[in-house]
């Protein structure tokens, strides 16, 4: 049996004029070819670099409040200072870490749960499917933000892990539905029948046969869940439900809003962290969109045909 | 040639792709007279559907006509402009597609879809349009109450017949049919064919009938065109081809069908696979599978030969030189 | 019709889930918040009201869990959501009723406009593939729709209100104005709603547009669209009646699914604009640690989303004859 995701080899090799790339190389090439994906990947890489290098590139200690409060941008403070006398730029740089960490972890954990629920439901069918799908639909419909707010309000001040847990609990349902749909369409395919006939266990079939063919959807899901996590975390922190003493983009917005930054001459304090959240979100969204296009070629942009056109 | 209703001249249709475009229809020429029933036969992937849509001006990107002309009643359809073409559509030529379930709009009633076609070309009152719609349905044996039915509410056979009714709404001069019977069972196929033939005799329209089923079309068609790998390899009167197929491919096809009458035959398939059109074989496209291949078949493309009148054979065996050499003039 | 019945069962289950979450949350969370809230009430409330609060939040109870649960469900069914902590002693239900119309107005109308516009533009974008709408809008809107709603709202305030002074920066009508059914009041309402509505529309339209465009692209390659061309129908007719009407169907179910997400963002927008709807109320509840109010808002929003899902289902049945059953032969 030729597995559809067989690895060709550690590096590409030339055959008959066409270069055959390994699966990772294929993904890389596709990302680079697609402008949107390239832009998204670039942004993401930029933010990751900033987060990793924060101790090196931040001009000051983000929590140090010895500077002139509410100062406009200057050579010493490129983005000005907060009303507590802290350097905005340093805070922005250090603030990248929580956002990326939350996005990544929440995105992965939520997708893992989505896979467990969605694919199992599709594979087992019958009563397990009914119950799992019902749970999925219920969590899908329950309004996420109010639910998150209520839970987080009870757990106020309990830190980042609680925040991640709350986001995961409200965010797994969307992916589960998508993955179940795709797994269902795979269920009838022959290579699965072949595995079943060989006597393989259910978990083997799921993990080794089904999941590899769903990789692009899974990747898209991780990105989508990460996007949701970044925005949800920002929202909760903005409301003061995250850790307001930690430096993050969302908590910066909280303090900026509470100190009326827009009105009192320190607009960058509010605008820049929000811009960073927006850009990180945009990067994730672009990559997500590109992965969608990857798995469905019909969506790629078409050039207007000359002469007699279709419809 | 003068009174040809439809003339396809050296038509080339390509599919644009990542690299070189794939040629799906390679310099096809054929003609159709008024009232004539021409069968277009070939295996899956030989380009017959593409040819069919190209003739009906229904190609979608990435397919496009690279060169050649389609003359309908003497007019080049590709040149007459979108608005004018819309005018001509359905009134002078119409189309019947393979699967009625896919070709009928699932959210509109049959009646609405029939009235649509009528209203697009004529200003008629609603009542009259309805009457005409009911009339064409009756022609194919469907009760007029189904004007208010949705496609999913009809059986497969009824849907196909509804499509044919729709094609007849203006009693056009030409109906192009792309495998209209493939979605039906054997009994349904025969019934539908008989009905089509009956309607043709009654209204006198020409039919271009695309199919992979040679025996089906052999009974009803006047002329036959056999297609292989994007090219027409044989063209002629149906009876003549059945009696004396010339091209080795045609011979192979006919040997693969049993006939109920006549002596018991040994059935044979044609070994090998049709070529990948991205990299067609050099020379004659059929040469890898041909039981009578000559040396030059591997390198030179065969010229179109016309052993008799309007007929066409695309094979080195029938060039005048070969005929003179007396190798053969008739099938084995 | 069996479809609708199944849906109703689903709604009941979802509502039950929301109620149960509300019931168990205060009982599961580490005691701090609830006890603190109770101590703020003590001494200011009638023993009766105190009792019902204790029942709702599971404090100081001697009955077993099941009895509490039943009592709680009964209270909810009779509209007794308890008293608000931050707007003490006004009953929660009353506060909700004051805020609801503003939210329905702003978010309800904006969501519908955004959906309609997004669907329409998406349809045209797919029709004219490679044209301006198709190549520029999707990536731009993908980026814009990833913006946090509230941040975009802040930018709008900064630019158009504080900066250019075109629009007021908050609330639903001019402060101090009497609430009256007059043209001038209506004018105020519109002016105040303009920026929040703009914010919500811009950030949510991308999703509808993209899904409609993708559905349209798939639909355009269907045989019945090709057939419509063959019949010589006008392009407009083909785009709307043949392609559009079929492409929009999955969008309608998608509308229900993504409503929760859109709603969340819209609520945050209300907060930024201090628009007196449920969103801002939720914010005040969080700040004031007003758990009864918070939970009631959560319930109310759940009901609203379920209502929208039901409406979408009805629309689906109306628009797609295949869902209506019965076949002839």
Q: What is the dihedral of CA A152, A154, A158, A160, to 10 degrees?
A: -10
Domain membership flag for residue B331: no
The answer to whether residues B21 and B114 belong to one domain is no
* Residues linked to residue C329 through DSSP beta bridges, in sequence order: none
Asked if B120 and C246 come within 8 Å (Cβ–Cβ), the reply is: no
Query: Where does chain B have alpha helices with state H?
Result: 48-55, 82-88, 100-103, 110-121, 126-139, 156-167, 186-203, 214-220, 238-243, 248-255, 320-324
Q: What is the mean pLDDT of residues A143-153?
A: 84
Q: B162 CA to chain C: closest CA distance, Å?
A: 13
Structure confidence at residue B224 (pLDDT): 93
Q: Is residue B101 one of the residues assigned to a domain? A: no
Which residues share a beta bridge with B4? B33
Name the pairing type of β-strands B93-96 and B174-178: parallel
Instruction: Reply yes or no on whether the pLDDT at C284 is more than 60.
Output: yes
Q: What is the pLDDT of residue B114?
A: 92
B279 at A interface, C-beta within 8 A: no
The CATH number of residue C105's host domain is 1.10.3720.10
Q: Give dist(CA C247, CA C220) in Å, integer.
A: 9
pLDDT of residue A168: 92
| Test mutation, A298, A301, A306, A310, chain B, max B CBs within 10 A | A310
C-alpha distance from C49 to closest chain B C-alpha (Å) = 56
Measure in Å the smallest separation between the Cα of C276 and chain B Cα atoms. 43
Q: Are residues C59 and C191 in the same domain?
A: no
Domains in chain A and their CATH numbers?
Answer: 29-62+75-300 (1.10.3720.10)
Domain that holds residue C323: 96-328
Please check whether residues C188 and C235 belong to one and the same domain: yes
**Last residue of one domain, picked from the residues C24, C44, C77:** C77
Residues of A with CB under 8 A from a CB of B: 302, 305, 307-310
Cβ-based contacts of C142 with chain A (< 8 Å): 36, 282, 285-286, 289
Same domain, B131 and B177: no
Among B225-229, B268-272, B315-319, the least confident range? B268-272
Tokens for A307, please give them: 């002469």
Stretch among A44-48, B142-146, C253-257 having the lowest mean pLDDT: C253-257
pLDDT at C58: 65
Determine contact, residues A150/C296, Cβ cutoff 8 Å.
no
Q: Do residues C49 and C170 share a domain?
A: no
The pLDDT of residue A309: 33
DSSP codes, C28-59: HS-SHHHHHHHHHHTTTS-HHHHHHHHHHHT-
Residue C87 included in any domain: no
Task: Show the tokens assigned to B16.
Answer: 């644009």
CA distance A252 to chain B (A): 49
C16, C44, C77 - which closes a domain: C77
Angle at A91 between CA A85 and CA A92, to 5 degrees: 135
Identify whether residues C232 and C283 lie together within a single domain: yes
C13/C149 same-domain check: no
Residue in chain B closest to C232 (alpha carbons) equals B86
Length of chain C, in residues: 329
- Per-residue pLDDT averaged across C266-294, rounded? 84
Residue B291 pairs with which residues in a beta bridge? none
Is B78 domain-assigned?
Answer: yes
Tell me what percent of the residues of chain B surpass a pLDDT of 90. 24
Inter-chain touch C14–A231, beta carbons under 8 Å = no
Sequence-separated (6 or more) residues with CB below 8 Å from residue A310? B59, B60, B61, C220
What is the phi/psi pair of residue B184, to 5°? -105, 165
Chain A residues in contact with C34 by the CB 8 A cut-off are 154
B64 and B213 belong to one structural domain: yes
Q: Measured between CB atoms, does A310 come within 8 Å of chain C? A: yes
Q: Do A310 and B78 touch (CB under 8 A)?
A: no
Among A150-159, A300-309, C5-14, C298-307, name the one with the lowest average pLDDT: A300-309
In a domain, C88, yes or no: no
Using the beta-carbon criterion (under 8 Å), do C14 and A271 form an inter-chain contact?
A: no
* Residue B306 domain-assigned (yes or no): yes
Q: Are C171 and C112 in contact (CB under 8 A)?
A: no
Residues of chain A in contact with residue B60, where contact means CB-CB under 8 angstroms, are 310
Q: Is residue C82 part of a domain?
A: no
| Minimum-distance CB partner of A302 among C130, C154, C263 | C130
Q: Which residue has the tokens 């129908």?
A: C233
B124 occurs within a structural domain: yes
Same domain for B16 and B69, yes or no, is yes
Average of pLDDT values for B5-31?
88
Would you call B28 helix, strand, or coil by DSSP?
Answer: strand
CA B74, B78, B79, B82 torsion-angle sign: positive
CA distances from B144 to A55, B131, B137, B165, C61 (A): 80, 9, 6, 12, 72
Question: Which chain C residues contact residue B105 at CB under 8 A?
Answer: 224, 227-228, 241-242, 246
Do B293 and B180 belong to one domain? yes
- Residue C26 lies inside a defined structural domain of this protein: yes
Q: Give B-chain residues touching A309 at CB under 8 angstroms.
A: 61
Instruction: Let me know whether C28 and C131 are in one domain.
Output: no
Do A147 and C298 count as a contact with CB atoms less than 8 A apart?
A: yes
B86 to chain C, any CB pair closer than 8 A? The answer is yes
The pLDDT score that the predictor gives to residue C61 is 62
The pLDDT value recorded for residue A301 is 46
Query: Which of C77, C107, C137 finishes a domain?
Result: C77
What pLDDT sits at residue C63?
66
Q: Say whether both B130 and B16 belong to one domain.
A: no
Chains A, C: CB contacts within 8 A come to: 171
Contact A111, A222 (CB under 8 A): yes
**Does this complex have an ipTM over 0.85?**
no
- Assigned domain for B332 exists: no
B185 and B50 share one domain: yes
B280/B209 same-domain check: yes
Burial C309-320 (b: 16+ CB within 10 A, else e): bbebbebbeeeb
Of the candidates B58, B99, B149, the beta carbon closest to that of C328 is on: B149
Hey, which residues 303-332 in chain B have their CB within 8 Å of chain A?
A: none
Mean per-residue pLDDT over chain A, rounded: 77
Residue C7 lies in a domain: yes
Say whether B61 and A307 touch across the interface (CB within 8 A).
Answer: no
Final residue before a domain boundary, out of B149, B169, B189: B169
- Whether B59 and chain A come into contact, CB under 8 Å, resolves to yes
* Domain span at B188: 6-92+171-324
Burial level of C178, CB count in 10 A (0-12/13-18/19+)? exposed
With CB atoms and an 8 Å threshold, state whether B78 touches A308: yes
Question: pLDDT tens digits, residue range A98-112?
Answer: 889 999 999 999 999
Å from A115 to nearest chain C CA?
19
Do residue C323 and residue C175 come from a single domain? yes
Residue among C17, C131, C162 minimizing CB distance to A142: C17
Tens digit of each residue's pLDDT (9 = 90 or more) over A30-49: 666 677 778 888 888 999 88
Residue to substitute from B61, B67, B70, interface A, most A β-carbons within 10 A: B61
In chain A, residues with a C-beta closer than 8 Å to the C-beta of B64 are 305, 307
Q: Is residue B239 part of a domain?
A: yes
Q: Which of residues 263-292 of A touch C (CB under 8 A)?
A: 263, 267, 270-271, 274-275, 277-278, 281-282, 284-286, 289
Is the Cβ–Cβ distance between B9 and B69 less than 8 Å?
yes
- Between helix A249-258 and helix A267-295 the angle, nearest 10°, is 140
Domain boundary among B153, B169, B185: B169
**Got the DSSP string for A46-108?**
HHHHHHHTHHHH-SS-TT---SPTTPPP-SS-TT-B-TTS-BHHHHHHHHHHHHHHHHHHHHH
pLDDT, chain C, mean: 80
Tell me how far apart the alpha carbons of residues A254 and A239 are, in angstroms, rounded to a whole number: 6
Same-domain pairing of C171 and C301: yes
Tell me whether residue C90 is in a domain: no
Question: Which helix (H) or strand (E) element contains residue A13?
Answer: strand A13-15
Mutation site for C-interface testing, chosen from A95, A134, A145, A260 by largest number of C Cβ within 10 Å:
A145
Q: Which residues of C touch A307 (CB under 8 A)?
A: none
Whole-number pLDDT of residue A13: 34
Scan residues 64-83 of B and list those with Cβ closer than 8 Å to A: 64-65, 78, 82
How far the first Cα of chain A sits from its last, in Å, is 43
- Report residue B215 CA to chain centroid gap: 15
Sign of the C-alpha dihedral, residues A43, A49, A55, A60?
A: negative
Q: Do C322 and B152 touch (CB under 8 A)?
A: yes
Number of domains, chain B = 2
Are B104 and C226 an interchain contact pair (Cβ–Cβ within 8 Å)? Answer: no
How far apart CA B14 and CA A166 sit, in angstroms, is 55
The residue in chain B having the minimum alpha-carbon distance to the alpha carbon of residue A310 is: B60
Q: In CATH, what number is assigned to the domain containing residue B314?
A: 3.40.50.300
Which residues in C lie closer than 8 A to residue A36 (C-beta atoms)? 139, 142
- What's the confidence (pLDDT) of residue A310? 35
Question: Which residues from A are below 8 Å from B82, CB to CB?
Answer: 308
Give yes or no for residue B176 having a pLDDT over 90: yes
> Among all residues of chain B, which has the CA nearest to that of A18?
B19
**Mean per-residue pLDDT, C58-80:** 74
Distance from CA of A311 to the nearest CA of B (A): 8
Residues 88-147 of A with CB under 8 A from C: 134, 137-138, 140-147
Q: Same domain, yes or no, for C121 and C162?
A: yes
Q: Tell whether C262 and C157 lie within a shared domain.
A: yes
Query: Which residues of chain B neighbour A303 with C-beta distances below 8 Å?
Result: none
Q: Quick one: B226 and B317 in the same domain?
A: yes
- Cα A196 to chain centroid, rounded: 34
* In a shared domain, residues C123 and C250: yes
Mean pLDDT, residues C190-213 taken together: 85
Q: Do B153 and C326 touch (CB under 8 A)?
A: yes
Indicate if the pLDDT at residue B48 is higher than 50: yes
| Total number of domains constituting chain C | 2
3-class DSSP state of B211: strand
Q: Is residue B112 part of a domain?
A: yes
Contacts 24+ apart (CB under 8 A), A201-204: A202/A123, A202/A124
Q: Is 80 exceeded by the pLDDT of residue B109?
A: yes
Q: What one-character DSSP code corresponds to residue A4?
A: T
pTM of this structure = 0.77
**Block residue for tokens 């407009």:** C236
Residue B234 shares a structural domain with residue B306: yes
> Could you report the per-residue pLDDT of A204-238, keeping only the tens digit for each?
777 777 777 778 788 888 988 998 899 888 888 88
CA distance A310 to chain B (A): 5
Sheet of strand B93-96: strand arrangement: B93-96, B174-178, B206-211, B37-42, B223-228, B231-237, B312-314, B304-305
Distance from chain centroid for Cα A184: 25
Shared-domain flag, residues C198 and C112: yes
Positive or negative, the CA dihedral C237, C238, C242, C248 is negative
């Amino acid at each position: 049996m030729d597995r559809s995701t067989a690895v060709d080899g550690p590096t590409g090799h030339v055959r008959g004029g066409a270069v055959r790339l390994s699966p990772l190389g294929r993904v890389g090439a596709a990302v680079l070819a697609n402008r949107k994906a390239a832009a998204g990947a670039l942004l993401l890489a930029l933010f990751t670099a900033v987060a990793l290098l924060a101790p090196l590139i931040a001009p000051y200690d983000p929590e140090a409040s010895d500077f002139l409060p509410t100062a406009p941008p200057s050579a010493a403070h490129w983005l000005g200072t907060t009303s507590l006398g802290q350097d905005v730029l340093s805070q922005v740089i250090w603030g990248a870490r929580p956002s990326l960490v939350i996005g990544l972890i929440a995105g992965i954990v939520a997708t893992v749960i989505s896979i467990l629920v969605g694919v199992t439901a599709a594979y087992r069918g019958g009563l397990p499917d009914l119950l799992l799908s019902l749970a999925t639909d219920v969590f899908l419909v329950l309004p996420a933000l109010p639910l998150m707010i209520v839970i987080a309000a009870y757990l106020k001040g309990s830190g980042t892990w609680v925040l991640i847990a709350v986001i995961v609990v409200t965010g797994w349902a969307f992916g589960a539905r998508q993955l179940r749909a795709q797994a269902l369409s795979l269920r009838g395919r022959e290579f699965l029948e072949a595995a079943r006939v060989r006597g393989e266990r259910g978990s083997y079939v799921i993990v080794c046969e089904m999941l590899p063919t769903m990789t692009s959807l899974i990747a898209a899901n991780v990105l989508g869940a990460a996007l949701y996590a970044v925005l949800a975390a920002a929202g909760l922190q903005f409301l003061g439900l995250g850790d307001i003493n930690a430096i993050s983009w969302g908590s910066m917005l909280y303090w900026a809003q509470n100190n009326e930054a827009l009105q009192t001459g320190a607009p960058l304090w509010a605008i820049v962290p929000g811009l960073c959240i927006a850009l990180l979100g945009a990067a994730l969204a672009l990559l997500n969109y590109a992965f969608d296009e990857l798995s469905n070629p019909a969506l790629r942009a078409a050039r207007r045909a000359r002469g007699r056109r279709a419809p | 040639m003068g009174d040809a209703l439809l003339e396809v001249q050296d038509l080339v249709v390509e599919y644009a792709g990542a690299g070189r475009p794939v040629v799906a229809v390679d310099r096809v020429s054929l003609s159709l007279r008024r009232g004539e029933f021409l069968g277009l036969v070939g295996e899956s992937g030989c380009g017959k559907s593409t040819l069919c849509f190209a003739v009906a001006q229904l190609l979608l990107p990435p397919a496009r006509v690279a060169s050649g002309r389609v003359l309908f009643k003497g007019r080049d359809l590709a040149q007459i402009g979108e608005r004018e073409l819309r005018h001509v559509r359905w009134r002078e030529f119409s189309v019947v597609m393979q699967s009625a379930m896919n070709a009928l709009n699932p959210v509109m009633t049959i009646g609405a879809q029939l009235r649509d076609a009528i209203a697009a070309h004529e200003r008629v009152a609603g009542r009259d349009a309805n009457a005409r719609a009911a009339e064409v349905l009756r022609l194919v044996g469907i009760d007029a109450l189904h004007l208010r039915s949705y496609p999913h509410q009809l059986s497969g056979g009824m849907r196909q017949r509804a499509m044919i009714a729709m094609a007849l709404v203006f009693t056009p001069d030409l109906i192009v049919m792309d495998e209209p019977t493939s979605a039906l069972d054997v009994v349904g196929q025969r019934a539908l064919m008989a009905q089509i033939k009956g309607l043709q005799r009654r209204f006198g329209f020409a039919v271009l009938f695309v199919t992979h089923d040679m025996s089906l079309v052999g009974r009803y068609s006047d002329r036959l065109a056999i297609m292989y790998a994007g090219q027409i390899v044989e063209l002629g009167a149906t009876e003549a081809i059945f009696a004396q197929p010339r091209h080795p491919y045609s011979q192979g096809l006919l040997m693969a069908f049993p006939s109920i009458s006549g002596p018991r035959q040994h059935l044979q398939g044609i070994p090998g696979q049709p070529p990948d059109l991205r990299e067609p074989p050099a020379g004659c496209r059929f040469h890898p599978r041909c039981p009578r291949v000559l040396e030059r078949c591997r390198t030179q493309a065969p010229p179109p030969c016309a052993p008799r009148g309007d007929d066409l054979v695309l094979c080195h065996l029938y060039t005048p030189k070969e005929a003179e050499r007396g190798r053969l003039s008739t099938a084995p | 019709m069996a479809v609708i019945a199944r849906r109703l069962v689903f709604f009941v289950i979802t509502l039950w889930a929301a109620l149960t979450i509300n019931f168990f949350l205060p009982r599961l969370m580490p005691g701090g918040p609830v006890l603190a809230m109770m101590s703020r009430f003590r001494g200011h409330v009638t023993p009766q009201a105190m009792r019902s609060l204790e029942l709702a939040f599971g404090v100081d109870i001697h009955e077993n869990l099941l009895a509490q649960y039943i009592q709680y469900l009964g209270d909810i069914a009779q509209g007794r959501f308890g008293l608000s902590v931050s707007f003490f002693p006004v009953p929660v239900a009353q506060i909700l009723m004051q805020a609801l119309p503003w939210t329905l107005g702003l978010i309800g109308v904006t969501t519908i406009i955004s959906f309609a516009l997004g669907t329409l533009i998406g349809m045209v974008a797919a029709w004219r593939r490679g044209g301006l709408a198709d190549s520029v809008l999707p990536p731009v809107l993908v980026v814009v729709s990833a913006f946090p709603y509230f941040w975009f709202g802040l930018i709008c305030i900064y630019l158009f209100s504080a900066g250019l002074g075109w629009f007021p920066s908050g609330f639903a009508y001019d402060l101090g104005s009497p609430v009256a059914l007059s043209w001038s009041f209506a004018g105020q309402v519109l002016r105040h709603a303009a920026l929040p509505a703009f914010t919500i529309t811009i950030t949510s339209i991308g999703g509808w547009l993209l899904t409609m465009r993708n559905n349209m692209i798939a639909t355009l390659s269907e045989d019945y669209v090709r057939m419509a061309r063959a019949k010589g129908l006008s392009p407009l007719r083909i785009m709307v009646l043949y392609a559009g009407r079929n492409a929009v169907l999955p969008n309608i179910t998608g509308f229900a699914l993504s409503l929760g997400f859109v709603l969340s963002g819209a609520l945050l927008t209300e907060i930024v604009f201090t628009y007196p709807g449920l969103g801002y109320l939720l914010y005040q509840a969080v700040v004031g640690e007003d758990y009864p109010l918070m939970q009631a808002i959560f319930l109310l929003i759940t009901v609203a989303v379920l209502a929208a899902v039901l409406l979408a289902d009805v629309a689906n049945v109306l628009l797609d004859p295949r869902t209506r059953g019965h076949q002839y032969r």
